[in-house]
Every structure is written in structure tokens, then in C-alpha cells.
Structure 1
Amino acid sequence: MSRETSRRSILKHIAGAGATFSLLSGEVTAAQPTCRNATATPPADAWPTIGHDAGRTYYNPGTSGPQTEVSERWTTALPTRELPTIAGGKAYVGGSSLRALDVDDGSQIWARSPPNCRYTTPAIGPETVYSAVAHRNDDEQTVTIQALDATDGVRRWATEPLVTGESVAASAPVLVDGTIFGLVRAEQERFFYAVSFDSRAVEWRHTVAESVDEFAVTDGTLIYAVEEQVRAISITGDTAQWAVNSPPIRGLAAASGTVVVVSDNSITALATEDGTERWHTELGSVGEPGFEGSNSFGQPALADGSVIIGTRSSVFASVRQEGGATLYKRDLITGERQEIQDAVLRPAIPDDLDFYNESPYVRYGWGRPAVSSDTIFVPQYGSINGGSGFNSARSGLVAIDRETFEVRWTSTEVASSPVIVAEDRLFATSVRHSESLLTMLEAATTNDT
């Protein structure tokens, strides 16, 4: 996935993610035969779009996940750093090609790779996947929405170009009630669009002057974040509904009439209908004895009326104590704190490390949760850098029971990266030696008899 050089490119890469905005290029062609059964829903255990759903909740209630520590079943290289989408035994991956992989062994089932094209992460409908595709032709680039057969990758139809320019970009689309929503850019022009399944034509456009950090669709509303403001428009037209000022936003998710907006040190819950504040909470400094540093919030997940979110800590330790990063669960409507979980995978500190003279720098925290019907799966990392060259690092995955908030298992075999839970499996993306990888994880086997 390519990105603008600015830290706030049109949408941040989800490393913790949220809705990723891919600066891609793709293909332009005439419309093909109609899409079958376009308005139905994908299987209940699928992960059909980035963040699982148009609200970016990272909650998949239709599936479970490994109940014991996991091990790697297969790993395959990816041409992109985007998260895949998963349904019907296939993982779909965008990039310079659009590929479908078998979730059982990672083998390629089909690939579509016309020249000079790049595909966003596709959104999955029944029998069909939808991608925003950018195509370069000489010095001109265009973006179209394409529908491809989920079985073999054959293109069913494509829209007319949504945008044309020397440099174009497109977000991964989302599907809501027979309409495709997304964001495109050409040079300094950017706008949200709504494309009908039936007509394959743009029903409306909503121009945005600033770079967009996050967006979600819920309750008939498209909500998006620019650097210091949250805005909402109606999905039945480009009518602005409300706008609320906010600190710089690093995460956004929406469900149950509420949008949760996350900055580095605060969480605010707004009513989707009119943007009024339901609750707000601030995150103080690390504040543990012997520590000086900072805390920041990570990315949220929303599940059955709860907000699940972790913090990250960067501290200078003057005494040998732990502190900082915490995983919280709060009530979505009231903000009341329901549960709290301290860091599990802490960086290892040697007993003989001279804290006063070495001044080690400690970083650790929780990543973005992915939530199944019964389990919260949260990446975690930790590192210590000592003044004399001592370094220690740990990362992995923590599985937490949704009801009791107790740790079920931890694994250090998993890179600290966002995970996807679908079809009772776990999938993780990672980067090793500058190569992007997708790994399927399953419950580890034992030699017990």
C-alpha cells in the first residue's frame, strides 16, 4: 500500500487501524452483466470489509476463535500491507493484483492482475467482491468500482471512472443496503461517493477540502474525521447533518446510535443522530511510581454495547517497577468503566540492570482488539532499550474471555499486529524483513494422550 508522505495521508494504514485509505491505481472498462443477489448479506461468520462492518467495529459476533494458545498453520507473502477480507473459505487480498486464497492452506485459488492496476481491499457480498480499482494509462490515472465473481475472479461489471487525474487514490469500499460507499481523490480534490448496485451510477458526491483520517457508515449516516473535526452526512444524499470539533483523531468506530472518537489522550462518544456528546474521558500521564513518560490510547473495538480499547506507554524508568499500558472495557452509552486488564506481555527486565545509570526507555501497550462471539483477541508489544546497549523486546497476542475479562491464553508466536477473526479462525498480518505476510493461526497441537 502506498501512502502520501504526510503523516495524515487520506487514510492511515491500520496497524492498528482502522479504516485504511489506499493510494492505489486501477482499471477502466465498460459495464458487464448484472450482479446476482447483490443486496443479500454475506455469511454470518465472514469478515466482509475492513473493520468487519461499515461501522468499523472490529466485532464479528457470528464466529468464535481458538480457545487455547495458537500456532502458525500457514504463512504467505502479500503484495500489499492491507488487511484482507474473508468469506466462504477464501481470503481476498488487494494490491497490484486481486487474489483469492484458500483459508485452509494459503494457496491461491484465483488472481486478477491486469497491467498498471491496483485494487483496494475488496468488500464482500454474496457471490461477488467489490474493489475500487485505479488504473494508469500514460500520464493519466482513473478510479472505477469493479464487481468480480467471488468464485473465479471474472469481472461482472465496472462503473464509469469516478475520478481522473495525474495522481489518484481510493479507499476500500463498504456495502450498505444495496449501495457502495467510499472515498476517492485526484490531486487536491477528494470526495465521498455513493454508487448504486442497480444502476452502477454515482448517486451523490460529497466534496471534502481536508485530508480524511477515518470514516464509518452507520444508522443512515456517513461519519468521517478530518484533523480536528468529526462530521456527518446523510447516506441518502450529500446533506451535511452535523460537525463537532475534536483533538486530532486517531480512531473512530460506530454502532448502536453512537460514534466513538479517539484521540491520543481522550475518548468521546457522540450521538450519531446529531453529534451531541454522550460522554468523554481523558487519559492522564503514566503516573506510576518511578516512571516519567506518556500514555496514549490505541484503536477501539465496539461489541454488544461496550467499547474495548487499550493504551500504550512510553516511559523512562528510574526504579524497577512496571506500570502503564492498560486494556479497558467501557459502556458504550454511559462511558462507565466495566472492566480493566493490566498488560500481560511485559518487556523482560534483568535483575542486575542499573536503572539509575542506564536510564532505560520502556515502551509497551495494547493494539486494536478483534472481538468474536466469546473472545477478545488483542495484540500486545513491549520493549526496553538500555543506555549500555541492552535491548529486550516481546510481542504477541492475548486472548481474553468476553464475559469474565480474564486471560484465556497468551502467545508470543504472533507478531504484534491487528488480527482478523472469521470462520472460527484467526488471521494476522505482519512485516518481516520488509516483506508483508498473512498468517493463519490455529489452536496449537499437544503431545498429550
Structure 2
Amino acid sequence: MHALARTFAVALLLAAGTPAGAAPAPALWDHVGYDAEDSWFNPRETAITASTVRRLVRKWSVRLRSAETCSSFSGPIVAGGRVFVGDLAGITAYDAATGARRWSHDWGGSTEGGTPRMAVADGLLVVGYNDCTSVSDPNPVLLALDVRNGLRRWSADPPLIGTMIVDKGAVLASGTDVSGDSRTVAYRVRDGRELWRAPGRRIGGTSANGTVAGFAAGGAKAYDITTGTVRWTVKRHLLPGAATPAGDTFYGTGDKERLVAVDVKNGAVRWTALGPSELIATDGTRLYRSDGEAIVALDARTGKQVWRRNLPAYGGQPVVAGGVVYAGGIALDAARGTVITGPPPLGGDLVVTGGVLYQSHEGALTAYTVGG
């Protein structure tokens, strides 16, 4: 929750005259993973909690645009009173309160976009995606759309977009192509001007208060996202996938494919653990990790298991808000891992913000709020 990525959205909400106390907090989930840290944790949610989630009722639902393409639906992000979601024809903005369509952006030219990465910053919806029609020629696209009307403000020629990070007024694109060549380039959010590049380097999908890190032959390096200044170098593998909300610890893939916790200041390993390291979320107290049809909570300081719970379906990406963990289509108490019975089916991609749970699932975007 650092950087300019939140400034515009909050200002737009206030300018719109949102009544005091009408929502528990401004409705804001302006990165796919909530924040630039990719923590998947909303610390501001106070309406949808472990005691109220079972009373969720549908507020509105819309069908997402369909088309004969290889594209796929994305999870939603929320900012400035709008919900942005990738559909089979491009990207569409909906009114967060009513579900009314505000504008749509279609895939350009002959491209068909894969699942887009999105974030809102400086009044722009920054979007990165690869053409899904060809693995060998993915034609990556990076562009910025005006959040008010969807008009294109700038575009750039990025590397393959394996990860995209928006933080501190910069957007970083990084990826490794089919021949094994990695490349990272950072651009200025305001106008798309290139800031710096790191040939041969693959950066993980998280910024810890402006520090990004990734690997190449010989080890891992951490950089300042705005300048490219090297902050530290270590002779081991590291690909961060999340950071604590405080921005002091990276979590991700380390040597021998182990889950690793790393000090953001110097790259020192704090702990390692066996098990998957890709689908993770953290509230700073616990790290939540999907493990097939189960979810595991680890102590964020030590890596020791706190609880484990089998799920009725594949866990997918955990989401944490209001003391609740959402995974595998159900809700669990974040502290104890107990299943909370009663809420509607919670499959697909979820975000929880401003007292509303937004769900993108099976071609529909649905908003739920707490009923009486």
C-alpha cells in the first residue's frame, strides 16, 4: 500500500462525494494482488468478516463479454468507483455500485490478449498482456488507459510479460521467452518513458516498498524500481512472489524450489520451508499457501505451520480480508483455519474491499454485500 498507485483512486472517491461512514473504507483493490507487494491481503476491510461473511447476498451480477478468441477472463481490480476486469474481447470497466458498464477496450489489431495484468496508478489503468495465439511469437503489449473513459494514453514495446509490477510511479515488465532469454524493462507510469533495463534478468512479481528482485546466471539481485540502482546481490536463486504489507520480507521460490523468506534490506534468508511457493498470500502475521486441494498457514516470522485445512476443490490463489481467508471456493477463519459455513459459492477470482466481495467466475462478474 505504498506509492502513487492509490492516490488518484482515493481522491476520485472523495471528489464523488461519498458520504462519511457509508462504507467501512474506500473501495480500493488497485492491483491484482491488492497492493504492489502482491500480498493478496486487504487490511482495511471491516464489514465482511468472519462473523458476517455467512450473510453475504448478491447485490448485482453482469455477464462478461464473450468472443471467439483464445483469451481468458481475469480477476477484477477496484479503484475510483469502478471495477476493471479482463474478458474475452478485451477489458471492461463497470460501475462498482451498480454493475453498469462504463467503457470497454478491445484487443487491438490482430492480437488476442492472454490474461491481462492490471493496476491503477496516476489516473491510468496500466495493462500488460501477451498475445495468446502463439507461444513462439507472443507479441507482448503494455499500455495505459484513462480510467475515466478507456482512451489509450500511451503504449510501449515491453519484453514478454511474465510479471508486471506498478509501484512508485514506475511499471516494470519482465519475462523469459521460449529460448530461455530473460529481460526486464521499467517505464514511467505517467508517460511510458523507459527508465532502466536489465538484460538477462527475470524479476519476480512483487515490489517491497520500491525494492524488486530476481535471478540470472550467478545469483539474484535487488533493484530500486524507479532507478534500477542495485541494492544487493546474493549468489543463490530467488524469485519473489509476495512481500509483507510492511515491505520488509520477500516470500517466493529459492534454491531447490523451496519456499523462502528473505530480508528485503540485504537478501539474507530468514527461513525456508518445503512445499509450493507460487500461490501465496500474507497478512504479515501468517503466510497462507495453497497446496493442491489444501491450504496451509505458516508463521510469517518462522515458517512453522500454524494450521492446515483440506478444501473441497483446488485451492487457487488465497485472498485475505477481514480476518477471513478465501480459497478453494470457501471461507476460513484466518487465525484458526476453521471453515465458515453459510456464504454463497466463492469460486473463481475474488477481491474484498469497501464492504463488497467482487467475484469473477464462469463468465460473470458478481458483487456481494452483507445482508440483514
TM range, smaller chain: 0.7 to 0.9
Once the two structures are superposed, residues 405-431 of structure 1 have per-residue CA deviations (whole angstroms, 9 ceiling, x without a partner) of: 55444546232x342112222223334
| Change over 3 Å in CA distance of 1:342–1:190 after alignment to 2 | closer
> Offset of 1:369 from its aligned partner?
2.0
Does residue 55 of structure 1 match 2:37? yes
1:45 and 2:40 matched: no
Counterpart of 2:61 in structure 1 is: 74
Q: Percent identity?
A: 16
1:369 aligns with: 318
Counterpart for residue 427 of structure 1: 358
Change in CA separation of 1:272 and 1:162 when aligned onto 2, cut-off 3 Å: same
Q: Secondary structure at the match of 1:200?
A: coil
Residue equivalent to 2:296: 327
**Structure-to-structure mapping, 1:263-282, within 5 angstroms:** 266-282=258-274
1:112 aligns with 2:79: no
Aligned residue number for residue 170 of structure 1: 161
Given that 1:102 and 1:109 are in contact with CA atoms closer than 8 Å, whether structure 2 keeps it comes out as yes
Q: Deviations over 1:69-111 (max 9, x none)?
A: 2354414235533222211221112364231012334332111
Distance in 1 between residues matched to 2:130 and 2:290, nearest whole Å:
35
- Residue 307 (structure 2) pairs with residue 340 (structure 1): yes
Matches within 5 A, 1:222-371: 222-224=212-214, 231-235=221-225, 236-237=227-228, 239=230, 241-243=232-234, 245=236, 252-255=241-244, 256-262=247-253, 266-282=258-274, 299-312=279-292, 325-330=294-299, 332-337=300-305, 339-343=306-310, 346=312, 366-371=315-320
Aligned to 1:217: 207
**Which residue, out of 166, 174, 183, partners 1:183?**
174
Instruction: Provide Cα deviations, 1:426-449, integer angstroms capped at 9, x if missing partner.
Output: 223334xxxx44333334x57xxx
Distance 2:236 2:344 in 1: 40
Answering whether residue 370 of structure 2 is matched by residue 438 of structure 1, we say no
Residues 15-40 of structure 1, C-alpha deviation per residue, up to 9 Å, x if partnerless?
A: xxxxxxxxxxxxxxxxxxxxxx9893
Q: Which residue of 2 aligns with 1:397?
A: 330
The structure carrying a bigger strand percent of its residues is: 1
Distance 2:111 2:331 in 1: 38
How far has the Cα of 1:300 moved from its partner? Answer: 1.5
Aligned length, in residue pairs: 331
Contact map agreement 1:196 1:202 (CA 8 A) in 2: yes
Q: 1:147 aligns with which of 127, 144, 147?
A: 144
Greater mean deviation of Cα atoms: 176-185 or 111-120: 111-120
* 1:250-282 Cα shifts (integer Å, max 9, x gaps): x72112321112589843211123322101233
Per-residue CA deviation, residues 292-328 of structure 1 (Å, 9 max, x unaligned), is xxxx667211113432224336xxxxxxxxxxx4532
Distance in 2 (CA, whole Å) between partners of 1:68 and 1:38 is 28
- Asked if the contact 1:258–1:333 (Cα under 8 Å) also holds between the matched residues in 2, the reply is no
Q: 2:73 touches 2:85 (CA, 8 Å); kept in 1?
A: no
Deviation string 1:130-178 (CA, Å, 9 cap, x unpaired) is 2237799xxx9865643322111123x314x425xxxx74356432222
- Whether the 8 Å contact between 1:46 and 1:87 is mirrored in structure 2 is yes
Equivalent AA in structure 1 for residue 357 of structure 2: L
Higher relative contact order (CA 8 A, sep 6+): 2
* SS class of match (2:9): coil
Structure 1 residue 204: Cα displacement: 0.7
Separation (CA, whole Å) in 2 of partners of 1:252 and 1:141: 23
Judged with a 3 Å threshold, the aligned counterparts in structure 2 of structure 1 residues 307 and 220 are, in CA distance, closer, same or farther, namely same
Q: 1:336/1:134 Cα in 2 relative to 1: closer, same or farther (>3 Å)?
A: closer
TM-score under structure 1 normalisation?
0.62
Rounded Cα–Cα distance in structure 2 between residues aligned with 1:58 and 1:228 = 31
Separation of aligned partners in 2, 1:260 and 1:410: 32
| TM-aligned CA deviation for residue 57 of structure 1 | 0.5
The alignment yields a C-alpha RMSD, in angstroms, of 3.8
Q: Which has the larger radius of gyration?
A: 1
Once residues 185 and 297 of structure 1 are traced to their aligned partners in structure 2, the CA distance between those partners, rounded to angstroms, is 19
TM-score, with structure 2 as normaliser: 0.73
